[in-house]
Amino acid sequence: MEEQERATADEHMEPASHQANGTPNGQTAEEAEDRALMEQFLLNPAHDYRNLQYGDTVDGTIMRVDKDEILVDIGSKAEGVVPAREMQSLPPEDRATLKPGDTLLVFVVQSEDKEGRAVLSVDKARQEKSWRRLQLSFDSNEVIEAKVINYNKGGLLVNLDGVRGFVPSSQVSGISRGPETQKQSDMAKMVGTAMPLKVIEINRNRNRLILSERQAVQEVREGRKDELLTTLKEGDIRTGVVTSIADFGAFVDIGGADGLVHLSELSWSRVKHPSEVLKPGDKVRVYVLSVDNDRKRIALSIKRTQNEPWSTVSERYHLGQIVEGTITQLASFGAFARIEDGVEGLIHVSEMGDGRIQHPRDVVQEGDVVQARIIRIDPARKRMGLSMRQPSDAAEHGTESASDEAA
What is the rounded distance in angstroms from the CA atom of residue 104 to the CA atom of residue 174?
39
Instruction: For residue 130, give the 3-state DSSP assignment.
Output: helix
State the pLDDT confidence band at 326, using cuts at 50, 70 and 90.
very high
pLDDT in tens, 117-172: 889 999 888 888 889 899 999 999 999 999 999 999 899 999 987 789 999 999 99
What is the rounded distance in angstroms from the CA atom of residue 213 to the CA atom of residue 157?
12
20 has pLDDT over 50:
no
pLDDT of residue 310: 87
Contact status, residue 130 vs residue 161, Cβ threshold 8 Å: yes
Distance from chain centroid for Cα 379: 48
Contact status, residue 137 vs residue 146, Cβ threshold 8 Å: no
Lowest mean pLDDT among 161-165, 185-189, 368-372, 390-394: 390-394
Contact status, residue 242 vs residue 250, Cβ threshold 8 Å: yes
CA atoms within 13 A of residue 298's CA, in its CB half-sphere: 29
What is the rounded distance in angstroms from the CA atom of residue 176 to the CA atom of residue 332?
45
Query: Which of the pair, 146 or 407, is modelled with greater confidence?
Result: 146
Contact status, residue 17 vs residue 23, Cβ threshold 8 Å: yes
Rg over alpha carbons for the chain, rounded to the nearest Å, is: 43
pLDDT of residue 172: 93
pTM exceeds 0.85, yes or no: no
Going by DSSP bridges, is the β-strand pair 80-83/118-121 parallel, antiparallel, or unpaired? Answer: parallel
pLDDT of residue 22: 46
Could you give the domains of the chain?
Answer: 2-43 (no CATH), 57-126 (2.40.50.140), 141-217 (2.40.50.140), 232-305 (2.40.50.140), 311-406 (2.40.50.140)
Query: Which of the pair, 7 or 285, is modelled with greater confidence?
Result: 285
pLDDT in tens, 192-232: 999 999 999 999 888 899 999 999 988 888 888 888 888 88
Q: Give the percent of the chain with pLDDT over 90.
A: 50
